[in-house]
Amino acid sequence: MSNVTQASSLEKKVDSIVSIFENDTPDIQYCSIVDIKDGRGYTAGKAGFTSATGDLLELLLRYERINAELFKSVIPILKQRAREENGDVTGLESLPKLWAVACQNQDFLKTQDDLVDEWYKKPARSALKKYGLKSNLAYLIFYDTVIQHGDGNDPDSFNGIVNKMGRIPQTERVFLNNFLRARLKVLKNPSNRETRDVWRESVDRVISLRKLLSEGHFNLDGAFTLEVWGESFSF
């Protein structure tokens, strides 16, 4: 196993794999915005920013520094929904069209990249350091988990999953195997009832990661196949 590198080739590969999990395509879906009926309102962009959790709002507030007018009409509603953690999309009917306009601007795409690194990749790297893991596969697994589960302290979060592991294993392979086993249990029976149906349908992402682990693709280099959603993606 090699140390996690921050080379652009690794980041592109990790982003592509997470995009397959999130959007069934290796192409980063900066411009995607849809209500997937998971109780979180609109899910949009590279990391699946959502209108009910406040991260989509924060993205648009960051982008306001570049274009203060584009999302002006929906910001007050998004603030209310984020404050209430409310997935209702009523009043946000114009948001998909506004999002499409913003996606024509490279600054909007870069804002998404910056927030993904700040909110999801950096916590994943910090967790690697905390638990003494060094492989690129561990980085992918932690990043994907933070993307889907968040890094808070609720039972369904990254930290909640670690807590369910009990004793922390000493070897990287055993740690990742136990972590993915605990994550699979959370996906099958999450505490949040609103996410239950959607998360139960997403167990393939963990099963595919366990396959990479069992095959020993710790470095994520060389050729390997990701099998998920009944499809195969070659890397």
Residues belonging to the active site: 22, 38
Alpha helix positions (H), 150-192: 158-165, 172-188
Per the listing, tokens 């209500």 go with 35
Residue 5, CA distances (Å) to 8, 17, 207, 219 in order: 9, 17, 25, 10
Determine the longest span between alpha carbons in the chain, in angstroms.
Answer: 52
Q: Minimal CA–CA distance to 211: which of 165, 167, 180?
A: 180
Q: How far apart are alpha carbons 93 and 95 in whole angstroms?
A: 6
Q: How far apart are alpha carbons 54 and 85 in whole angstroms?
A: 8
Q: Do the beta carbons of residue 137 and residue 176 sit within 8 Å?
A: yes
Strand, coil or helix: what is 129?
helix
